[in-house]
């Protein structure tokens, strides 16, 4: 009897407990469901994609982006830019763009300490990605005038050097004679502006892109490449003007030639600029003087068509 009463009391207590706890459990369950639904609705969107180093890099003093093409690279180098190759030494020895100095990636951090941050630097590599990485390193260190060449070696239209360097087989040659320091004495060029000369040089170099297996363009700066100029004058017996001094010849130069004699002293011979020396596959030469700008490129293009294999 006592045992039966005890069991009844226990059941009663459990029933009351369940009745008390059940609403609370249902309420909590509803809260959890609401919170879960609320989280599903208010989940924040994924963060925006951060721009790459290339997108955020500052534009250089020249107004160029970090990634440049062959034409802009060639122009910067002609204007005195530091021209480096960041391949390993063994890769560099096998093939590199003519005129580059080897600065392997592992040596870059040490060598950059010897450069001025205002230097213009053109970076090349057999692979564009490596040149891009080198430019990003330089940009982080404050070298805002550093650029890498698009496309690696495959997109370079100039000459190569090295034990396994690619070469063109007996191409026809266009020697383009120009001057680099046009801004210091622009009046010497008469109606030909410095911008005209830059455009003309870029268009001339573009002929090599249009005739990649037939034409090689060689640019010669009459102001800085004196030895190369004198060698070509002698080899091809080119017509020249004798510059005996600055003040004595300015009037003559203004009247007769588009030429920049700045820095030349004594009895020096110089070519007319801009001008072209065309050498076909058989070594025959055709020398063009300072042609009108509107007829120069069509004339050169026609000559290039004649040189196609």
Residues 90-135 pLDDT 10s? 999 999 998 999 999 999 999 999 999 999 999 999 999 999 999 9
The CA-based angle 228-234-239, given to 5 degrees, is 100
- Please state, in angstroms and rounded to a whole number, the distance separating the CA atoms of residues 221 and 262: 13
- Please state, in angstroms and rounded to a whole number, the distance separating the CA atoms of residues 239 and 256: 14
Q: Which pLDDT score is estimated for 228? A: 86
**Contact criterion met (CB below 8 Å) for 267 and 244:** yes
**Contact criterion met (CB below 8 Å) for 128 and 152:** yes
Token readout for 306 is 């004649």
Report the DSSP beta bridge partners of residue 122.
83, 147
Query: Distance between alpha carbon 165 and the CA centroid of its chain, in Å?
Result: 21
**DSSP structure class, residue 223:** T
The CA-based angle 241-247-248, given to 5 degrees, is 55
- Per-residue pLDDT of 197-249, as tens digits, reads 778 888 888 888 888 888 989 888 877 787 888 888 889 888 776 655 444 44
Q: What region, left, alpha or beta, does residue 6 occupy, with left being phi > 0 and alpha being psi -120 to 50 degrees?
A: alpha
- Please state, in angstroms and rounded to a whole number, the distance separating the CA atoms of residues 194 and 167: 32
| pLDDT of 140 above 60 | yes
170: cis peptide before it, omega within 30°?
no
- Which of 29, 231, 68 lies closest to 146, judged by CA? 68
| pLDDT of 136 above 80 | yes
3-class secondary structure, 3: helix
117 φ/ψ angles, rounded to the nearest 5 degrees: -65, -15
Maximal C-alpha separation, the chain:
140
Topology, domain 51-167: Oxidized Rhodanese; domain 1 (3.40.250)
In this structure, whether the domain defined by 170-309 belongs to CATH 3.30.465.10 is answered with no
Please, what is the angle between helix 293-307 and helix 194-210, to 10°? 20
Of 38-42, 167-171, 284-288, the one with minimum mean pLDDT is: 38-42
- Beta-sheet strand order (sheet of 285-288): 215-221, 172-178, 275-279, 285-288
Rg over CA atoms, the chain: 36
Q: What region, left, alpha or beta, does residue 115 occupy, with left being phi > 0 and alpha being psi -120 to 50 degrees?
A: beta
- Per-residue pLDDT of 195-211, as tens digits, reads 777 788 888 888 888 88
- Please state, in angstroms and rounded to a whole number, the distance separating the CA atoms of residues 171 and 89: 29
Enter the pTM of the model.
0.53
Q: Percent of the chain, pLDDT > 70?
A: 64
Whose tokens are 């030639």? That residue is 257
- Which of 309, 297, 300, 258 lies closest to 279, judged by CA? 300
**Contact criterion met (CB below 8 Å) for 148 and 67:** yes
Quote the mean pLDDT of the chain.
75
Q: Of the spans 34-48, 51-65, 132-146, which averages the highest pLDDT?
A: 132-146
């Amino acid at each position: 009897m006592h045992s039966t009463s005890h069991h009844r009391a226990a059941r009663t207590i459990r029933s009351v407990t369940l009745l008390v706890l059940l609403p609370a459990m249902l309420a909590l369950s509803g809260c959890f469901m609401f919170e879960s639904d609320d989280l599903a609705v208010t989940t924040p969107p994924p963060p925006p994609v951060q721009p790459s180093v290339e997108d955020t890099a500052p534009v250089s003093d020249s107004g160029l982006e970090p990634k440049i093409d062959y034409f802009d690279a060639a122009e910067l180098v002609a204007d005195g830019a530091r021209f480096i190759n960041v391949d390993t030494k063994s890769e560099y020895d096998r093939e590199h763009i003519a005129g580059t100095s080897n600065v392997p990636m592992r040596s870059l951090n040490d060598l950059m300490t010897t450069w001025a941050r205002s230097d213009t630097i053109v970076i090349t590599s057999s692979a564009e990605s490596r040149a891009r990485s080198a430019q990003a390193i330089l940009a982080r260190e404050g070298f805002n005038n550093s650029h890498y060449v698009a496309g690696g070696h495959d997109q370079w239209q100039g000459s190569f050097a090295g034990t396994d360097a690619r070469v063109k087989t007996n191409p026809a040659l266009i020697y383009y004679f120009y001057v680099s320091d046009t801004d210091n004495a622009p009046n010497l060029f008469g109606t030909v502006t410095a911008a005209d000369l830059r455009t003309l040089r870029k268009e001339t170099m573009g002929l090599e892109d249009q005739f990649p297996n037939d034409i090689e363009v060689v640019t010669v700066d009459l102001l800085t490449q004196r030895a190369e100029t004198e060698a070509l004058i002698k080899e091809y017996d080119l017509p020249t003007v004798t510059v005996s001094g600055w003040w004595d010849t300015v009037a003559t130069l203004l009247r007769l030639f588009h030429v920049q004699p700045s820095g030349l002293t004594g009895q020096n011979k110089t070519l007319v600029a801009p001008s072209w020396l065309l050498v076909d596959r058989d070594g025959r030469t055709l020398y063009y003087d300072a042609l009108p700008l509107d007829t120069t490129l069509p004339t050169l293009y026609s000559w290039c068509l004649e040189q196609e294999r």
